[in-house]
Structure 1
Amino acid sequence: MNVPNGQSPNPHPYQTLDRTGRAMTARMTGGSSPHAAAAAWTDWALHLARAPGRQLELAEHAMRSWARLAAYAAAGATQNAPFMPRPEDHRFNHMGWVMPPFSLWQQSFLAVQDWWDHATEAPRGTSAHNAERVNFMARQALDVFSPSNAVLTNPEILQATMKQGGRNLAAGWKNAVADMVGRATGTRPEVKSQFKVGKTLACTKGEVVYRNDLFELIQYAPQTDTVHPEPILIVPAWIMKYYILDLRPENSLINFLVGQGFTVFAMSWVNPTDTLRDASLDDYRRKGVMAALETVNAVLPDRKVHACGYCLGGTILSIAAATMAREGDERLASITLLAAQTDFTEAGEIMLFLDESQVAFLEDMMWDRGYLEQDQMAGAFRALRAEDLIWSRAVRRYLLGEEEQDFDISVWNADATRMPARMHSQYLRALFMENRLSSGRFAVEDRVIALKDIAAPMFVLGTEKDHIAPWRSVYKVTLFTDTELTFVLTKGGHNGGIVSEPGHRGRHYRIGHRAPGAGYMDPESWFEQHERKGGSWWPEWAAWLAAKSGTKAAPPAMGAPEAGLPPLAPAPGSYVFQK
């Protein structure tokens, strides 16, 4: 893949000196580029300074807001509140926030937040990306001063303190000290949980049948007397542990598929160290997806394969599938993309962290270490939902003295992975920044590939509240393909929408079918024309796969010793335990 990584193969000593200095700065800033932040503020401020009409509008907006606050306060805070928190902001859910003086403090904070939201709408001439980044940084700064963060201004903390005689604050102080010591020493405190990988999580029975330096391939043991002849190969994202798809038996997508009579293989990516610093994006295709496909073909010869990719696993699967189509390789019976993007022009809020300055800064930091730290990506995702994932968590842990709630998905979420420097740089530049895949500029082995060459039927799923792969961005694959395609939109976010087992309360989805060669339908029209159905999308997918599969027969053996692929270890293998 001819994708640049912004690095000279033979850097001058002065360039090395510069990169060393930037890498040291990156360690102090947590990987955030000071120049990118300053450039965004400068762009916004200079354009605002040259817009007196806009300044008057903001002054008028502030006066109206304070007038509404004054009326609210004069009414004894008994009338309807003039400002409402965002739906995802749960900091003010406690009933005490409707009582004065807490209600007035809350409304004052929300009024300032509302003004900044209005102020950071891009003035004419301002880069929309810079305006969005300024809005994000302003919100991050304002969150520090939320009344929900202090003991005396948060009714929930005051109530707990009086009820417990201050024991909550003592427990919170203990938690804070433990976390500070952990950060200072670089150690992670042992989390007490009922969920253990290999015992209560990732416990679907199977065997590792292949291993290289990038992944282990797990073949799952049959649970039915007969199985469909076409196996399923699951390609998870390498930025997460694969067992988000194999949590508890009750909500494991892999366990569900095996129970429906499918032979399932899943890749478990390595957690890379400095030794893989030069692993490329194409290595993840060749030594990852293609090596897994070849292993499945060796275990089950002469069988087409249902390939499924989740998140960036779906992106690399799309690249592999388009390359196979170019070469006339017809081994794929179908392609399923779960919350996976092939076009990155509307790639969601993660784009707030990406521009040339920021990516160059990350590259220098990775050049120093050889990889991106697992906390770096996890921290970026938490920052996108700072109200709930940072501040509400801090209040619960440090002021209410509450322990983390024990959920299977939270245990998985804390089990982050690293990413090799070269590969991470390549996919940030070629996919997120330059959008090469859907624009006809992404080359594999020096030849451009095209998604429209894919002939295998596709099942594509987006989730309604996904801030990592927004569903309208996922839907864009319909613009760049001509094959038969089924699109599903399901309730939930990037992870919760996927873990949507039958019987999960409150779940719904929409499903639509596009015939080969049919005209394009925009996402809003698609949404309006497809009715919401209650329940899980899993049975729909299983039925779709079954319809594209042959007659069931006896299940295959585990591995293929005669082909040099004996079972190596019981599932979930060893890579999933790497820290």
Structure 2
Amino acid sequence: MQQVLTGQAEAAERWNELAERSQRVVQAFWEHQSEQGFQVTDPVSVGKAFLEMSAALWSDPAKMMEAQSKLMQENIALWQSTNRRMMGEKVDPVIEPTGGDRRFKANEWSEDLLFDFIKQSYLLSSRWAQSLVRDVEGIDPKSKEKVDFYTRQYLSALSPTNFAMTNPAVLKKTMDTGGENLMSGLQNLLSDLEKGDGRLAISMTDESKFEVGKNVAVTPGKVVFQNDLMQLIQYAPSTETVYKRPLLFVPPWINKFYVLDLQPKNSLIKWAVDQGYTLFVISWVNPRKELANKSFSDYMLEGPIAAIDAIEQATGESKINVLGFCIGGILTVSTLAYMAEKGDDRVASATLLATMVDLQDIGEVSVFIDDEQLAAMDRHMEETGYLEAHHLAQIFNMMRENDLIWSFVVNNYLLGRDAMPFDLLYWNSDSTRLPASMLSYYLRKVYQENLLKEPGGMVLDDTPIDISKIKIPTYFLATKEDHIAPWGSSYPATSLLGGPVRFVLGASGHIAGIVNPPAANKYCHWINAKKPKSKEDWFEGAERHEGSWWPDWHSWLSKKSGTKKTSPRIPGEGKLPVIEDAPGSYVKVRAND
């Protein structure tokens, strides 16, 4: 009896604590809503797109009735199929999840009649709604993209996997634990709202298990140069001799560089050092308001240009090779075109990873970039001086909403589990702010107006640039399933750049296709020495190679790097003194600091 009373008292105390926390969090949530300014999902813009779509739909009632009739027939077929299964008959499903849909992987979704019916009914309705908006005619293409995107967001949110009463795994967990999972889930939800100060900041990984410089970004090196925008890291050699020509990595600044140095087993940085390259890597600052006026030109001059100057001081070498990744690749292309205009030939070769040069097709990012939303963003940044990190994180998460939003809602809040430690998701949550001047110019000139490919379209440091004047050899790596930098926007580099281009297509996506060490023996890549006009023709003639693209890149780059007879270059032994140990202090500044 005493144990029962004690248990009841503990439960009551726990509920009181949850109630008090909930009250504080709800208050913070509503305060956040009232203070909220810029939103990447602009309700006015989205509402206009749906009104336009609705008007177009009802202008053709016959087509609407045809779609309704088709949905009714498919649901009748599902009822018949379910009844046949109830009678013991083995029947094929009316509809199945697509290959990449992992929401319904639990056996109950196929073996249990009720849950199989719920699943198929949802999939039929989702397919019908998505097809309806995709087939509508007579509306602006941009509006159509928005309607399609936000219809998918709505349908994903309504998935039966996201509700306790229609998710078999959650029901089982609730019965097994007596509802303890739901209480734990509520605690996780409150913790995430507290972490976001009223904004839901979903925990994707156990961040307490990682620390930059301790168990991620641990390749030995030293910071040998810094300015307002970046620190330059020189990595310690690991081979008896090194290639004569140094190598510079230019990572993106919308995330931190250590995606290329997560763990020793999957670090492209460590792997490059182990092949004998004298490697330098830019670590970008996490900017605050005082850097609001830093422009795209400043990122070029204080980034790659300053790094090239510093590398010459550190090594005595007047020529280097350079690698750019994502927006760092776009900056690298811009820098190379600028250097060509200036007659600066200090870069001998370039490697470009997941880099777009013709942004006619930018995928779903286009949904967030129109005149209205960019104007709203500019108004917001006039006050803040930068765009907060969580805005871009929201965009990228929404582009893979089931994997990066709803799977964590189910795991954290319905199943009541703590997020698992995962280095890549830790990096993904460690986003950066973006200065107002640079971001506004970049989104308009590069994304919205697609001027990078136009001769003279972009002017950097008062110099019009033309990427066709880039004559150096270039290794171009795109990835087949990249939703951030679609490979169709990378392939035009084969004709737009003025020098020889080796184009390679990796399997998987924006990160997994890049961070693919040979030892993992994962994925594959395609190579085709010919450069037909269309990417489809290129792919049709490409040869598939199993495993990582890294060895192919090393084989190509080594021939551009001089002899491997140079004595190892120790950071600090050149004309640049050591400032601090790698990975430096810039990378450790968090977005909420």
User: Is 2:587 the counterpart of 1:571?
Assistant: no
Q: What amino acid is the match of 2:362?
A: A
Q: Deviations over 1:325-378 (max 9, x none)?
A: 122211111111100111111112111211111111111122221111111101
Q: TM-score, normalised to structure 1's length?
A: 0.91
User: Is 2:426 the counterpart of 1:415?
Assistant: no
Matches of 2:466 and 2:40 in 1, distance apart? 34
Asked if 1 retains the 8 angstrom alpha-carbon contact of 2:40 and 2:368, the reply is no
The residue aligned with 1:4 is none
Following TM superposition, by how much is the alpha carbon of 1:191 offset from its aligned partner in structure 2, in angstroms? 4.1
Asked if 2 retains the 8 angstrom alpha-carbon contact of 1:26 and 1:361, the reply is no
Asked if 1 retains the 8 angstrom alpha-carbon contact of 2:386 and 2:434, the reply is yes
Following TM superposition, by how much is the alpha carbon of 1:559 offset from its aligned partner in structure 2, in angstroms? 4.7
2:61 to 31, 47, 52: 52
Following TM superposition, by how much is the alpha carbon of 1:138 offset from its aligned partner in structure 2, in angstroms? 1.5
2:547 to 535, 538, 562: 535
The residue aligned with 1:64 is 73
Q: What amino acid is the match of 1:341?
A: M
User: Is 2:114 the counterpart of 1:105?
Assistant: no
2:180 to 167, 192, 210: 167
Matches of 1:67 and 1:300 in 2, distance apart? 74
User: Is 2:493 the counterpart of 1:493?
Assistant: no
What is the DSSP-based 3-state SS (H/G/I as helix, E as strand, rest coil) of the residue aligned with 2:529? strand
Matches of 1:187 and 1:556 in 2, distance apart? 49
The residue aligned with 1:239 is 254
Moved more, 49-58 or 198-207: 49-58
Asked if 2 retains the 8 angstrom alpha-carbon contact of 1:30 and 1:376, the reply is yes
Moved more, 53-62 or 543-552: 53-62
Asked if 2 retains the 8 angstrom alpha-carbon contact of 1:44 and 1:122, the reply is no
Following TM superposition, by how much is the alpha carbon of 1:67 offset from its aligned partner in structure 2, in angstroms? 2.5
1:456 to 462, 469, 472: 472
Asked if 1 retains the 8 angstrom alpha-carbon contact of 2:149 and 2:364, the reply is no
User: Is 2:84 the counterpart of 1:75?
Assistant: yes
User: Is 2:103 the counterpart of 1:91?
Assistant: yes
User: Is 2:209 the counterpart of 1:200?
Assistant: no
With over 3 angstroms needed to count, the CA separation of the structure-2 counterparts of 1:546 and 1:505, relative to structure 1, is closer
Asked if 1 retains the 8 angstrom alpha-carbon contact of 2:239 and 2:568, the reply is no
Moved more, 314-323 or 553-562: 553-562
What is the DSSP-based 3-state SS (H/G/I as helix, E as strand, rest coil) of the residue aligned with 2:276? coil
Asked if 2 retains the 8 angstrom alpha-carbon contact of 1:83 and 1:110, the reply is yes
User: Is 2:378 the counterpart of 1:326?
Assistant: no
With over 3 angstroms needed to count, the CA separation of the structure-2 counterparts of 1:209 and 1:37, relative to structure 1, is same
Following TM superposition, by how much is the alpha carbon of 1:248 offset from its aligned partner in structure 2, in angstroms? 0.7
Residue identity over aligned pairs, in percent, reads: 38
Moved more, 193-202 or 350-359: 193-202
Moved more, 41-50 or 272-281: 41-50
Q: What amino acid is the match of 1:473?
A: S
The residue aligned with 1:444 is 460
Unaligned runs of 5+ in 2: 1-31
Q: What amino acid is the match of 1:577?
A: K
Following TM superposition, by how much is the alpha carbon of 1:187 offset from its aligned partner in structure 2, in angstroms? 11
Matches of 1:349 and 1:46 in 2, distance apart? 24
The residue aligned with 2:494 is 478
Matches of 2:122 and 2:92 in 1, distance apart? 16
Matches of 2:290 and 2:84 in 1, distance apart? 66
What is the DSSP-based 3-state SS (H/G/I as helix, E as strand, rest coil) of the residue aligned with 1:532? strand
With over 3 angstroms needed to count, the CA separation of the structure-2 counterparts of 1:272 and 1:192, relative to structure 1, is closer
The residue aligned with 2:20 is none
Q: TM-score, normalised to structure 2's length?
A: 0.89
The residue aligned with 1:38 is 47
With over 3 angstroms needed to count, the CA separation of the structure-2 counterparts of 1:131 and 1:122, relative to structure 1, is farther
Q: What amino acid is the match of 2:426?
A: V
Moved more, 191-200 or 495-504: 191-200
Matches of 1:116 and 1:26 in 2, distance apart? 34
The residue aligned with 1:353 is 368
Alignment of 1:155-554 (within 5 A): 155-184=168-197, 191-440=206-455, 441-513=457-529, 520-554=532-566
Matches of 1:252 and 1:574 in 2, distance apart? 20
With over 3 angstroms needed to count, the CA separation of the structure-2 counterparts of 1:478 and 1:511, relative to structure 1, is same
What is the DSSP-based 3-state SS (H/G/I as helix, E as strand, rest coil) of the residue aligned with 2:36? helix
Asked if 2 retains the 8 angstrom alpha-carbon contact of 1:122 and 1:131, the reply is no
Following TM superposition, by how much is the alpha carbon of 1:221 offset from its aligned partner in structure 2, in angstroms? 0.7
Asked if 2 retains the 8 angstrom alpha-carbon contact of 1:558 and 1:567, the reply is no
Moved more, 104-113 or 316-325: 104-113
Matches of 1:237 and 1:432 in 2, distance apart? 15
User: Is 2:132 the counterpart of 1:119?
Assistant: yes
Matches of 2:236 and 2:135 in 1, distance apart? 55
CA RMSD of aligned residues (A): 2.1
Following TM superposition, by how much is the alpha carbon of 1:186 offset from its aligned partner in structure 2, in angstroms? 7.1
Q: Deviations over 1:72-109 (max 9, x none)?
A: 33223752222222333211111111112111111111
Following TM superposition, by how much is the alpha carbon of 1:32 offset from its aligned partner in structure 2, in angstroms? 2.5
Following TM superposition, by how much is the alpha carbon of 1:193 offset from its aligned partner in structure 2, in angstroms? 4.2
Matches of 2:429 and 2:177 in 1, distance apart? 30
Following TM superposition, by how much is the alpha carbon of 1:184 offset from its aligned partner in structure 2, in angstroms? 3.0
With over 3 angstroms needed to count, the CA separation of the structure-2 counterparts of 1:172 and 1:121, relative to structure 1, is same
With over 3 angstroms needed to count, the CA separation of the structure-2 counterparts of 1:559 and 1:157, relative to structure 1, is same
Following TM superposition, by how much is the alpha carbon of 1:192 offset from its aligned partner in structure 2, in angstroms? 4.8
What is the DSSP-based 3-state SS (H/G/I as helix, E as strand, rest coil) of the residue aligned with 1:35? helix
Matches of 2:144 and 2:35 in 1, distance apart? 23
Matches of 2:232 and 2:109 in 1, distance apart? 52
Matches of 1:555 and 1:199 in 2, distance apart? 29
Matches of 1:79 and 1:294 in 2, distance apart? 69
Asked if 1 retains the 8 angstrom alpha-carbon contact of 2:528 and 2:543, the reply is no
Matches of 1:478 and 1:115 in 2, distance apart? 39
Moved more, 553-562 or 60-69: 553-562
With over 3 angstroms needed to count, the CA separation of the structure-2 counterparts of 1:195 and 1:471, relative to structure 1, is same
The residue aligned with 2:163 is 150
Matches of 1:143 and 1:539 in 2, distance apart? 39
Matches of 2:433 and 2:252 in 1, distance apart? 12
